[in-house]
Structure 1
Amino acid sequence: MPKLAPLQTHLALTIALITLLLTFLLSAAVGTLAARQVEQDVHNSLKQLAYQLSLTLDRGMHERYRELQVISTLEVIRQPSANPRFQRALLDKLQVTYPAYAWIGLTDPDGRVRVATGALLEGANVSARPWFQQGKQRASVSDVHEALLLAKHIASHDGSPPRFVDVSTPVYDLQGRFVGVLGSHLSWSWAQNAQRALLESTPREHHVEALVLAQDGTVLLGPSALVGRAYPQPPGSGDRWTADAVERLDGQEYLVGHSATRGHLDYPGLGWQVLVRENKQTALAPVRALQQRIVLLGILAAVAFTLLGVLAAGYLARPLRLMSVAANRLRSGEGVQIPVTRHYTEAAVLSLALRELLDERDRQRQEMQELNATLEQRVAQRTEELERINEELDAFSYSVSHDLRTPLRHVSGFAEMLEKRLGETDDGTARRYLSVIRSSTIRMNQLIDDLLAFSRLSREQLNVTAVDLNELVETVILELEPDMVGRDVDWRVSVLPVVRGDKALLKAVMTNLLSNALKYSGKRDRAVIEVRAEEGAEAVVVTVRDNGVGFDPKYADKLFGVFQRLHRADEFEGTGIGLANVRRIVERHGGRVWAHSQPGQGAAFSFSLPDS
């Protein structure tokens, strides 16, 4: 017997494994739930930050939008004849008050700059600029763009071309006539300041980035690597950003909060999209730390529970060890008793049950010894009874053969004598009666022979040898030649294997199956009879198929019973015992027999023999 680990070890290891498994399951569950909660909290926080920034941008633009409209209503601005020096001074003062204005200018109706802050672009023709074209019609705001005319006069702090948001409004004189456009270039730095103020308000451990996107998705404000590029939308977002999205960009996952600018009061807004995002790994770092602590505590608990399990297993295994030692001594032939333990109920019940089992074993051993003492006598008596029964069966077979056949011979003989006595008379009815009597006696005699053969099958010893089925089938076909006179029969015999069995009995099987196939295909112009075999892993299956009249498949199980016939005797002759003989012979060889058919489509009879 292989050496196995003791119960104490199994129990300790089981407790440790269960503890570790529960720890990892708890860690996974807590991690999943915590990650969902943290992710939701971060989404809400980012969404709130995005909303704050969008609100700041909308209100800031609204203030500049309204300021320019208010200035356009001042009399000094509305009078074309006003002193340009006074107008310029007013615009310069506005720029000093609100440094976000990079440039403010007043044009005439034809688009030529009359006055401007710092006298920049005075006299320049800006009639083709979008802010002028839109400003002639109504107060308007243009989206962020790079400076063209002012690029050589104003430089950004990082050396890149300055970017502006244009705000413009028409100017009308006191009589309501259009006298020019008051326009301004709002430096994009004011939006950057709003972004910086928002990011400084978040905790340092959260590495948050804020982006402002134009309506077409171009990044207007954000990390320098993304500014000016089209920002990818998350899968499934369609034409609009979802409120809570997980964005995958450059192999990184970000949690994203979104808000759209919608304008403020009479300021219509520019349709900017504000995104505030945070790296997902950074956001979920506290969750991973919590999982690691749970795993560490679980490992410590597993070690503690393992030690407790060793102690508990030692207590539980002690009575089993005592019973095991006693059992080994009993196996060695020592006269010892199984100890009765009182540690716990199960051990006490087991020890008592083992004691009772040993007592029962001793009692049965004594009974076996007594039975063995009388076994030879009982075997001799049973052998004598079997020999007597066999003798009685032989006597019965002889009695049937003699006592039944004698009156049948008398009936047949007298019928023949009466037929000769009638001679050449014209009594056709009497002759028909005598013919029926003679054919019935012949059929009865054949039935007696078949019954005797059927009864002998179960008593005859099998003479098992190697049997060549090809040779056996050829012999049977030759013996059936008298039944084929005047018929067109196509025998299709495949290559058949050599099997182990009683050659005479297997010949009886093939004779019965082939003669049946020949008989039931007698109504066909051309009879086709096929014999083939399939060799499997455990058995050889032999099949005999014909194109005869066939039978209803629901009666297939009745075919192999004694006196079972599916056709009338006046259609096909027979006693109904042949297939029962086939079944008994095949079963004595350790095989089985079955059949398949459809009415009018022939029949297939198969039997299996164990593969030698």
Structure 2
Amino acid sequence: MKSMLDYINPRNSISARIGISITCLALFLSLASSLFLGIVAQKNAEESIGETLEDLAYQMADKLDRGMFERYREIQIMAQWPEITDPVAAASAKRAILQKMKETYPVHSWIGLTDVDGNVIAGTDGLLEGKNAATRPWFPGAQKGPYVGDVHGALLLAKHLPAPPDGNLRFVDVASPVRDAQGRFIGVLCSHLNWEWAGEIKESLLFEDEREFDVELAVLNNNGEMLLGPSFLRENSLTSLYEKVVARSGDHQHSVQTWPDGVVCLTGYAKCGGYRDYPGLGWTVVAWQPVAKAFAPARKLMFTLLVYGSLSGLLLAVLGWSVVHRLSVPISNIARVADQIRQGNHDIAIKVLPGRDEVATLSSSLSEMLATLNRQNLDLTAARDQLEEKVKKRTRDLEIANAELHGEIFVRQETEAKLRKKEIHLNEAQKIGLVGSMEVDPQENIYWSEQFFRLLGYEPGQVEPSLALLLNHIHGDQRQTFSAFISRADGEEDLEAQVITSDGVTRHCLLRASTVGNETEAAGPGKQLTMVDISERKAAEKLRDEVDRIMRHDLKTPLNAIIGYPQLMATADNLTEAQKGYLSMITEAGYRMLQQINESLTIYKIESGNYQIDLKPVDLVRLINRIRQELYSLADSFRVEVELTRGNRPATKDDAVMAAGEELLLFSMFSNLIKNAIEASPQGAVVTINIAESDGGIGITIHNQGVVAAEVREGFFEKFSSYGKTDGTGLGTYSAKLLAEAHHGQISFTSSEEKGTMLYVNLPTARGAGLA
């Protein structure tokens, strides 16, 4: 007995450990596989039954939506019938139509027609006629359009219509406005749908086998209140279940939930989302089955698998123990020999077993291992000597590397000192130039230069840099624009912003944001923001504009004399015709200068946003022909011809293209553009002006064979932009852009060596502006 206990003691025998391990493993695998298969079967059953319940709820929801859509469309179509829309038709005729509809579709418990004040003028079975329904929700709701009201109890009709078996008569309201032939509102057509119709749909979906397994259906409104369902749940609130499962999930789903009556059920649901133009009322259909009934077959299968798995495990354990015993005897013999070798007896002989199995291979390998061990003892001494030599050599190498490292550290210290010196110079330069900079690295760490602190009204290091603090210093009206600007950080555009310092001073600053670093790096790119104080420049610009405005205004005073005195002198009788011509030329030049000053004042008002344009029909063909006549001498001096076409054919005197605008401003705009085209054209060239109408407006193109210099193309329409003209002011194209945009139009250009320069002007038509 004792020897048997020693044999099976895992501390004394490896065979015992292997046998016990095989036994435990066999039992574990058998039970685990049985349990796993049972769980899988239960999960599959849960998923299958859950999908079935989910599909059942979806079918119910779909039938409710389609049924409501049919009633929704019926009422809208009825509201358009001639007998209903005819305000003088007899009430009896209208009642007959309503009665026929109710008899055809019994789901309509009552259909009624009201006048504009909500008085029922016709109702099925004569019910509620003469009553006022203006306070019922469906009457004001239908005045705005087709109306659908949620389930509610019967009020006025409760005593006139038979009650259902549960005694709870409920309706769903469907209503539509009624309009006469002229589209005027003359009343509302309303139907009370009997909610028992939903119960009939439920009964048609629940088969006998589903009732046997306690499958139930319910309809909830968007507050989780039960509109339709088993009577035992009507006293229980489903709000908590609705909020936990339905209101937080998708359109249809299933899960295991505990119901208000304490029963754990597999629950599926689907939402009524409406159908076609019927918007739906937010109903939710819930289908459920108690878990005890749903999972009963799967649990029975799990128990059967566990029983058979246990028996199989025991059988495998017995077979495994027998095999281990046969294998362990030669292994034990080899173990005894190996123990003697461990004790230092290297002269012992190891018996090599015959065969090719693992035990024979082990005995052979152990014998070879003993021989190898003796050889390695000899090699170990030689290897130790070689190792000592390698250690000495490695020590010398480390000393050399250490000296080199000290040299690199010295160079790095010198470099850091130079960088600190350059940083001091940069801070001084930024302080002089009123330029500050901010950097944001990929880890969102923020650095402000010393001048950046000063521009915000702080001493360097006084506050912790952050984007939120910077945003607080941006003027409130510009914060949203600044946030979008810093997010793009493309370096392609500048932003002018008002910065409010910590002591309340407003600075005008020019900002430029750009991305630094490489997007392919693991940390990603950073951002850099440069801020320049341009307050003095803005003040100078304001002063210049004010001086320009004063000069424009004050120039009018001497012009009155320049225009008035020649007119007075021209009345004398002793003047020759030549003298009268000179006085006329002076007067005409004065008027032209006055016109230019007025145009300049108008442009100034447009720039400042204080000009209200007076749109009137303007014939562009006549206008441009006038400009051609005035510029004829200029064109002739440049040996350039100016042609006007309409739709790429020569324009005639009978052509008229009416634009919406102020004639004087349009004359000034096109005169500047055509004059520039003439001056930019080579001798002998042709300037072509084409006018074309389309649904989008009037397109005017001005083509010349000259080329705009590359230096001014980017700022072609900017103020004071000029190139190659000694007497040019740089205001012609700038004022043209202002005038085009003031007329709700657009202007652009293209220029190349091959095709010359093409100006594109788009203006609204007089007809499109409501002036034709």
TM-score normalized with structure 2 length = 0.38
Q: Return the TM-score normalized by structure 1.
A: 0.47
Q: Which has the larger radius of gyration?
A: 1
